[in-house]
Amino acid sequence: MPKIYSVINVISSSVTENKKKIKEMFNPDMNMDFNLREFRVRFKNETAEAFLIYYDGMTNQNFLNRDIMRSLLTCAEFDTGETSRRSVVTERIIAVAPLSIITDYSEVGQKVSFGDCAIFIDGCGCCFSADVKGWDSRGVDAPSQEVSLTGPQESFAESIMTNIALVRKILRSPNTTAWNIPVGNSNQVPCAVMYLDGIVNKDIVDEVVRRLKGIDTEYIFSSSDIEMMIEDSTYFPMTRTLKTERPDRVASMLADGKVAVIVQGSPFALILPTTAMDLIEATEDNYVRVPEANLMRIVRLFGMTISVLLPALFIAVMLYHQEVLPTDLLIAISATREKVPFSLIVELILMEIAFELLKEASVRVPNPIGSTLGIIGGLILGQAAVEASIVSPLLIIIVSIGGIGAFSTPTLSLSRSLSVLKFIYIFAAYFFGIPGLTAAVLITLSLLSSAKTFGVPFLSRMKPGGKASESMLVKPIWKKEKRPPELRPQDEYKQPHISRKWKY
């Protein structure tokens, strides 16, 4: 653990001692971006030695020189015999910048490392930390993963304040709360726990805060680190946390009574708690008419189903249940596999791995090349593999149909989870046929039905008697009267029973 956080040291009233301690902490001789500026603060009746420290590139230099330094160098009208130095400096700085008074060296390290400037003045016995952050950051761009043709074209950036502002701009409610929970013993990354006060269930907020405060690690770098630290089960094959880059989606989830966690440095927000219905919902569902949204959702669910089950079902039928196929089709399949030297399971695993490699490669290469690589690479590899008698043409078709279905998955984390399940089902079908595949599916469903995320059942609104058919389909906005009952919100209703009053 770094030295500056291992021992709590009280800041001295002597500027000389403070300067010595600061040099030990920040090692200015080795850090080219660390600045220590010495000056004198002239009061009406005396002069005090002073210095300030900051990291170049993390502070707004114009604001620092124009406001902070000017305020400190124009204290000659104040008599410190009547008012203490601390009070004079506080009044001068707080008028031009957010200010906090620090009495501990460890807090100095945290503040300065996050873009503040720290000011030490002889005789004050404290440090004045002024918020002058000014680092460069990426602006608000269009979403890259959750693309919507008809919805807003704004996505989160890496600045936590920008992300909070994007959500507040949509909700426009003073009840929107952003509670700062620093996480990480060394870097103390700000995490904003956002919710709508008066709507959200306080037990859910308390549980989220409890888990965040219970993280004991040196460094946190992204929302993915937070996700893995607070999730209920690390080895569960299905993701149970929704990550989104869209402020409009976060705002709609907060309006339903959920909680969002936004992490400094990450362009994704975590939605808690997350249910299966949240994962299968696409952004476009909220911006198109109900018939179109329902058609897209049915197609999406069908695509996800065949992406997981089709390869396993194919191998189970070919190895154990050939009698379900017409004789002519079975003969044709056998003829295409006559020259293939590998067993069926080896063929399938090779093609599935090749397809996953193509997906990973298309993500890693630059965008203009990625789509071309996926299409051309798949065509060339598939055709060459068939001509070389490495795989059969039917297997290429099966893997391709499953791959196309996988692309219909609305979120990246769910797509990867389904890929894991796909391989599990393939091996279950290979060893035990359709009974093994059925058992694997039932085990998965039983695990999902018993799973909870932050105390909320994962398969909420999908249980028997819970009107699953209504939940699986998109309802008109004028029928969305209640918030999800599994969240137990403080305010159950979002709108009255008759919201289209013009019709009556």
108-138 pLDDT, tens digit each: 888 898 888 999 998 888 899 988 888 777 7
For residue 495, pLDDT over 70 is answered with yes
Residues 421, 423, 425, CA angle at the centre, nearest 5°?
70
DSSP state of 478: G
The pLDDT-based confidence of 373 (bands split at 50, 70, 90) is low
- Written as six digits, the tokens of 367 are 């965008």
Q: What is the pLDDT of residues 77-106, one digit of tens each?
A: 776 665 678 888 888 888 777 888 888 888
Q: Is the pTM here over 0.85, yes or no?
A: no
Alpha-carbon gap, residue 499 to 480, rounded angstroms: 10
Distance, CA of 46 to chain centre: 53
What is the pLDDT, as a whole number, of residue 81? 62
* DSSP character at residue 476: P
Q: What is the mean pLDDT of residues 337-348?
A: 83
Residue 468: per-residue pLDDT: 45
pLDDT value for 475: 86
Q: DSSP letters along 27-48, please?
A: -TTT-TTEEEEEEEEE-SS-EE
Residue 4 predicted with pLDDT over 50: no
Q: Going by C-beta distance under 8 Å and a sequence separation of 6 or more, which residues neighbour residue 414?
A: 238, 239, 279, 280
Diameter of the chain measured on Cα atoms: 106
Please give the C-alpha separations between residue 328 and each of 35, 146, 323, 395, in angstroms, as whole numbers: 81, 44, 12, 17
Q: What is the pLDDT of residue 378?
A: 63
Average pLDDT of the segment spanning 227-231:
90
Give the pLDDT confidence score for residue 464 in this predicted structure: 47
pLDDT band with cut points at 50, 70 and 90 for residue 61: confident
pLDDT band, very low/low/confident/very high, at 374 (cuts 50, 70, 90): low
Count Cα neighbours of 474 within 13 Å in the Cβ-side half-sphere.
24
Please name every residue paired with 456 in a beta bridge, in sequence order, or none if there are none. 453
Mean pLDDT of 343-358: 85
Give whichever of 32-46, 84-98, 258-272, 347-361 has the largest mean pLDDT. Answer: 258-272
Q: What is the pLDDT of residue 199?
A: 93
Distance, in Å, from the CA atom of 227 to the CA atom of 234, rounded to the nearest integer, reads: 10
What kind and span of H or E run contains 385? helix 367-387
Residue by residue, DSSP assigns 99-155 as EEEE-BHHHHHHHHHTT-EEEEETTS-SEEEE--B----------SSS--SSS----
| 460 vs 468: CA distance, rounded Å | 9
| pLDDT (0 to 100) of residue 284 | 84
Other C-beta atoms within 10 Å of 368: how many? Answer: 7
What percent of the chain stands above pLDDT 90? 26
Residues 6+ apart with CB under 8 A from 132: 54, 59, 60, 63, 64, 68, 97, 115, 116, 117
Backbone angles phi, psi at 341, to 5 degrees: -80, -15
Residue 159, pLDDT score: 87
Calculate the average pLDDT of the chain.
Answer: 84
d(CA 410, CA 388): 36
| Secondary structure element (H or E) that encloses residue 242, with its range | strand 242-244
Question: What percent of the chain is modeled with pLDDT above 70?
Answer: 91
The pLDDT assigned to 5 comes to 39
What is the band of 372 on the pLDDT scale with cuts at 50, 70, 90? low
> Once rounded to an integer, what is the mean pLDDT over residues 259-267?
92
For residue 275, which of 468, 493, 124 has the smallest C-alpha distance? 468
H or E stretch covering 55: strand 47-55
- 34's CB contacts (< 8 A; 6+ apart) are 26, 27, 28, 53, 55, 56
pLDDT on residue 442: 94
For residue 3, what pLDDT band results from cuts at 50, 70 and 90? Answer: very low
pLDDT of residue 65: 84
- Burial degree of 186 (CB within 10 A; 0-12, 13-18, 19+): middle
Per-residue pLDDT reduced to its tens digit, 268-315: 999 999 988 888 888 888 888 889 989 999 999 999 999 999 999 999
Q: Is 120 within 8 Å of 51 (Cβ atoms)?
A: yes
pLDDT score, position 260: 95
Residue 50 parent element (H or E): strand 47-55
Question: What integer pLDDT is reported at residue 322 of this predicted model?
Answer: 85
Average pLDDT over residues 452-470: 68
Q: Which pLDDT band holds residue 166 (cuts at 50, 70, 90)?
A: very high
Q: Which residues lie below 8 Å from residue 135, measured CB to CB, with a gap of 6+?
A: 57, 58, 59, 115
